[in-house]
Amino acid sequence: MLNNEILNYAINKIEQVGTDAWFSLDADEFLPDQYKNKSLRKEKDILDVWFDSGSSAIALNQKYPNLKLPYDVYLEGNDQYRGWFNASMINSTIYSGISPYKQLVSHGMTTDEKGNKMSKSLGNGVDPIEFSNELGADILRLWVASTDFTDDQKIGKEIIKQISESYRKIRNTIRFILANLNDFNPQTDYQKTLSEVDMYSLANLTSFKNKVLQAYEELNFNLVYTLVMNYVTKNLSAFYLDFIKDILYINSKNDLRRRQVQTVLYEQFYCLIDVLRPILVHTVEEAYQNLNDNKVESVHLLDNREQNFVYDEQFINKWDKVMLLRDDVNKALEVNRENKIINKGFEAIVYIKLDQEYEYLKEIKDLSQIFIVNSIYFVDNIDNDFIRTNISSIKVEQKQGLKCQRCWQIFDNLVDDEICYNCNNVVKSL
């Protein structure tokens, strides 16, 4: 039996005695006088399995009227389209004519490495608390970011091993940058005039950061992970951070070129902090607290740093071609290592015959340093010892001479048969 008279009476009674009384008081306590003593019984089952949770938006809106419908996002498993998502939409639209949410985000379920559902009987479950205590919460968070959360996510020992390796690469990159900013004061040492290769590195930074922030906006977290790993591995570790080691370690402390490189490292640090902050929350906090800079209490109180390093298309295209030439040189170096012509890149004298359309690359300064070779010579004619590559033909010879005990470069002459003239000047200035 159900009508408005009984409903209103029961509602008033529950307001007085609370919802738990429905299960402890007799049925007659919730009935108007004319319905008492008729052997009516209360229904103790819920009206609908999703009715209560589906009414949550209505309840929240009534308690906090300043929180206006629709709410920004509903997040639940992908089994809720016929459950909470559906019930919430039905209840809200009937009650107010307004959708309860602007956007739905659904996720898959976690499985083991073989795609099996996790269960206690199979013993294939992963306890996130135990995982975090053993390996750290940031590695667990990085695994989450690496997955396509809209589908089922696999986790297991081999997967975690791969994620741990990715985390190690990120952490070591940040550690390298921090270590080489130890004597850098951004207030006095920051350089506004940079070399072209520095500018190219910062242009890549801006492009990378914009892509990551867009991926965050689109909730495409596994793309964030992919972009970060590509940037850390290729743009930083395998390129910029590799060739600047000589500048950082060999040049004098206040050398202009060294300060320029540190300026780029400073910007790279904040770029990594900004893009990793939502995922590696503890790691970026630790890194930020070790930065030699004026700091706020926590990195998570900072806004993203403005890093709009944009250069004209001609400049970017030119340096993209420098990267192609670098690939050519690396290919030739590898062939000559295999043929026992050289052991290390710094031993190599590199002769390059550029294809005609790339002749302008001859104007690029410090190519031997950027490519980490002894010297580079551009030639107009080639012989059978040249290797055909992508945009050039290249020959490699081993530099004969004396190795500087400080910078390891090979020279015709050394000071006292120990160090080169450049290193000697630096040492004398210490």
Per-domain boundaries in the chain: 4-35, 51-107, 130-301, 319-399
CATH number of 130-301: 1.10.730.20
Q: Give pTM, 2 decimals.
A: 0.85
Query: Any idea which residue has 């695994």 for tokens?
Result: 143
* Of the options 3.30.2320.20, 3.40.50.300, 2.70.98.10, 2.130.10.10, the CATH number for the domain spanning 319-399: 3.30.2320.20
Phi, then psi, of 19 in degrees rounded to 5: -70, -30
pLDDT digits (tens, 9 = 90+) for 394-417: 999 999 999 999 999 999 999 998
- Find the mean pLDDT for residues 179-193: 96
- Amino acid occupying residue 317: N
pLDDT digits (tens, 9 = 90+) for 200-258: 999 999 999 999 999 999 999 999 999 999 999 999 999 999 999 999 999 999 999 99
pLDDT digits (tens, 9 = 90+) for 315-335: 999 999 999 999 999 999 999
Give SS3 for 273.
helix
Report which of 413, 315, 329, 411 is spatially closest to residue 364, judged by C-alpha positions: 315
Contact 16, 30 (CB under 8 A): no
Contact 325, 391 (CB under 8 A): yes
Omega of the bond leading into 70 within 30 degrees of 0 (cis)? yes
Is 130-301's fold the same as 319-399's? no
